[in-house]
């Protein structure tokens, strides 16, 4: 039992060194990303794990408005529409953005019309 307790101090020092290294990396990432300081850096969850700062991308009108603008007068597939919206300046951090675009096209039947299977245009 005493042997294990002696090892706690060593582990705490090791953890502190790793956290300091992680803070330096966060600062470098923030500098390269154009932020002045990393958002909520060093914040931890109850178990001592570091929590990454989550930021939401800022878009003016929302996905449905951006899709409507891109599809106006054109017919596109879901993948093409997703790429066109991003190319038009819509910011997203989604791993499955194509799926989100598909859901938006299906949800807003007043804005989009299905031309054929998987092909949509602005209504």
Q: What is the tens place of the pLDDT at every residue in 106-122?
A: 999 999 999 999 999 99
Residue 71: pLDDT band with limits 50, 70, 90: very high
User: Domain 63-122 classified CATH 1.10.10?
Assistant: yes
Q: With CA atoms as reference, report the closest residue to 12 among 40, 50, 52, 48.
A: 48
HSE, side-chain direction, 13 A CA sphere, residue 100: 17
pLDDT at 47: 55
pLDDT score of 5: 76
58 or 45, which is more confident:
58
104 neighbors 111 (Cβ within 8 angstroms):
no
Q: What is the pLDDT of residues 15-28, one digit of tens each?
A: 888 998 998 888 88
Per-residue pLDDT reduced to its tens digit, 92-109: 888 999 999 999 999 999
């Amino acid at each position: 039992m005493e042997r294990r307790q002696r090892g706690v101090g060593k582990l705490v020092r090791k953890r502190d060194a790793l956290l300091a290294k992680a803070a330096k990396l966060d600062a470098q990432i923030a500098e390269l990303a154009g932020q002045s300081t990393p958002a909520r850096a060093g914040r931890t969850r109850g178990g001592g794990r570091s929590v990454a700062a989550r930021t939401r991308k800022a878009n003016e009108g929302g996905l449905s408005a951006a899709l409507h603008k891109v599809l106006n007068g054109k017919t596109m597939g879901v993948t093409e529409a997703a790429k066109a919206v991003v190319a038009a300046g819509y910011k997203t951090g989604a791993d499955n953005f194509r799926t989100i675009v598909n859901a938006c096209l299906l949800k807003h039947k007043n804005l989009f019309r299905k031309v054929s299977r998987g092909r949509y245009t602005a209504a």
